[in-house]
Structure 1
């Protein structure tokens, strides 16, 4: 049985094609495209025409790949950008009409559940942990241990939203940093309350920005690690902090020239670094790992 999973993120559209054999699976093909669906007016809850068209064109390309691989079942999920957009329903119907892809727009709660399933599949959950998934439109937090999901929530404080609202200087100035962190602090009150009660020992970053943090460190140290081929990566805490402080204090051009940086994340990585450092500091966490398995692997796990 062949499955195709499409994850329509606010920044990136992902396509994953896998074949199942009994209880296991093999990934046959995967690709991602920086569609930037949240470009320009995400805080006005609108997909602008250029982003709308990029999204539909990308889904047409995905549709061709799905046909090439003779896929039996397709599952496409849309998250924050489509969920909150006034023209989100129009995007979903155009995708069906033009690319023949049926999209399910999932809630933030469902998104967090699927992220948990994906991360669990990677084997990254070793003890009481807090999973963090930084998207363009929303950020999900999941408190869990090896046996169960304890608590989950999706917050509308994604990197694209905060960037469009607050990040205007190059490099980011202190006023903008404070405005971002004040906003985040006000949003995450219940997260800090639940973590105070349960005391997680580790933060697990789900793919995305955390893959970029890892890639920057791997390239800097000439480590023989291929992020595309591993399920997990353990950060050295001091090295992670040094890398993120460098990102926060650098200009757009300096970040663009860093080995391991991808164009999509040149500016959004600053927001990701600020929020991750704030959460880790507030919760007194000094253990951090990456799970390269995220929402799309959670969807695959559900299909299997």
Structure 2
């Protein structure tokens, strides 16, 4: 039986720094990237003082578009959307360039307005982050413009685009040896631009800040490699990066770890713009998402409405993709949630904290067996690897890593989790709950748990006790043996697990 192929769609983002092509399989609105191309065209670098695109920059762009056009052969116009951003907006000879570009690519090109670019960026972000009612500030530093968007659901409350970008600011302020005076001049110039919207943005307000696209990701990656493993961007961290650049004289001589070679020329400009945004808007920290304009173009292309948590869609898609037994996955997840509830209620864990961990347990329980599609032996390791490294729309990097860790810990040697979990009490609760759920559900059939059963941790949080009906345990000798073995596993850690009969 031949399984019908999911329809393919493509988005093309002609940015001021790089051109990107992304091809997706559209599984009823579930985004799955199947191919991606990126080329650093430095389009904005081709603008002269009269805002005319140089022949050299046009040639670079056309060469890239010809490659994209080759990959898109066989696609119909309904399957492809192409958008061009700030450089195409400001170039005075863009009307002469566009026909040549469309001929090379084979598809029409839309030069979108700044606020439309902001809206599409926000659309990409909001479809790949779980909606929780909080307002987010999204900042996207591109090659020639920076977009600022505030919103809490599908429709943004505020969307603005300013003409400051990593390419234009790098060319304007950081052509030669970089000094402290150069950095301050760049930051002041960017702040002056951002002041036009800062009062309005502050009036609307936000609960957390998100960065997207190349500059934000580069700053995050360098900070993580050089100073702190945190996934957040902070102002103090950026000041350290700027000081190191000034001390070395150039970004290249600063020799930052985790900075891609193609980002070296534009890193200082992006850093200055981001520091200006932090200063002018009073941002304390910012997380970074992989979502970007190209994702917003995709969702806009299919006209999809966000009507449920993207993480739930992704979990269901992974269950289908890796041929998970839905009955068994549901059994393990629900049983684990019962154990987790028992542990948390006894310790008066706040309801919101319990709800958060119950979500993690649900995802881990429903996905713990995806690794059996590779091999049954050590399947929990295969499952954990997939969950750590796969594209999982809707999940933050932190959430994805947590689910992976819970799945890794749900069977096998408990001691291996000691360095991973450390003193995170709630994570130990979740791991024990999943281990016991997998143990009790091993027969893969419906099982009535004993009425007399309690799982508790001691008041100091230094161990666990399972009290269980002795007659029920006598009637289930395999589970009794498994619980005895489980107890021996936990003795290898500083958190013992004991079984008491009632």
Asked if TM exceeds 0.5, the reply is: yes
- Tell me which protein shows more helix as a share of its residues: 2
State how far apart, in whole Å, the 1-side matches of 2:19 and 2:300 are.
19
CA 1:186/1:214 → structure 2, altered by over 3 Å: closer, same or farther?
A: closer
Please say if 1:151 is aligned against 2:158: yes
Which of residues 297, 300, 303 in structure 1 aligns to 2:301?
303
Instruction: Decide which moves more: 269-278 or 128-137.
Output: 269-278
What is residue 168 of structure 1 aligned with on the other side? 175
CA 1:219/1:129 → structure 2, altered by over 3 Å: closer, same or farther?
A: same
CA 1:168/1:59 → structure 2, altered by over 3 Å: closer, same or farther?
A: closer
CA 1:173/1:277 → structure 2, altered by over 3 Å: closer, same or farther?
A: same
Deviation (angstroms), 1:220: 4.4
What is residue 190 of structure 2 aligned with on the other side? 184
What is residue 252 of structure 1 aligned with on the other side? 251
Deviation (angstroms), 1:152: 1.0
State how far apart, in whole Å, the 2-side matches of 1:72 and 1:149 are.
26
Deviation (angstroms), 1:137: 1.0
CA 1:52/1:221 → structure 2, altered by over 3 Å: closer, same or farther?
A: same
Which of residues 140, 143, 148 in structure 2 aligns to 1:136?
143
Deviation (angstroms), 1:192: 1.3
On the 8 A contact 2:227/2:237 being kept in 1, the answer is no
State how far apart, in whole Å, the 1-side matches of 2:261 and 2:131 are.
30
CA 1:288/1:259 → structure 2, altered by over 3 Å: closer, same or farther?
A: same
Please say if 1:64 is aligned against 2:70: yes
Please say if 1:235 is aligned against 2:232: yes
State how far apart, in whole Å, the 1-side matches of 2:258 and 2:117 are.
28
Could you give the per-residue CA deviations for residues 67-101 of structure 1, whole angstroms, max 9, x where no partner exists? 27889611111011111112212221001223323
Gaps of 5+ in 2: 1-6, 303-502
2:139 is paired with a residue whose SS is strand
- Tell me which protein shows more strand as a share of its residues: 1
State how far apart, in whole Å, the 1-side matches of 2:48 and 2:270 are.
17
Please say if 1:89 is aligned against 2:95: yes
Deviation (angstroms), 1:36: 0.9
Please say if 1:122 is aligned against 2:128: yes
What is residue 227 of structure 1 aligned with on the other side? none
CA 1:263/1:101 → structure 2, altered by over 3 Å: closer, same or farther?
A: farther
State how far apart, in whole Å, the 1-side matches of 2:225 and 2:144 are.
28
Deviation (angstroms), 1:266: 1.0
Compare relative contact order (CA 8 Å, sep 6+) and give the higher one, 1 or 2. 1
What is residue 51 of structure 1 aligned with on the other side? 57
Instruction: Decide which moves more: 154-163 or 259-268.
Output: 259-268
State how far apart, in whole Å, the 2-side matches of 1:110 and 1:8 are.
14
2:157 is paired with a residue whose SS is strand
Which of residues 26, 30, 40 in structure 2 aligns to 1:24?
30
On the 8 A contact 2:126/2:154 being kept in 1, the answer is no
Deviation (angstroms), 1:125: 6.6
Q: Give the number of aligned pairs.
A: 293
TM-score between both structures, scaled by the size of structure 1: 0.86
Deviation (angstroms), 1:146: 4.0
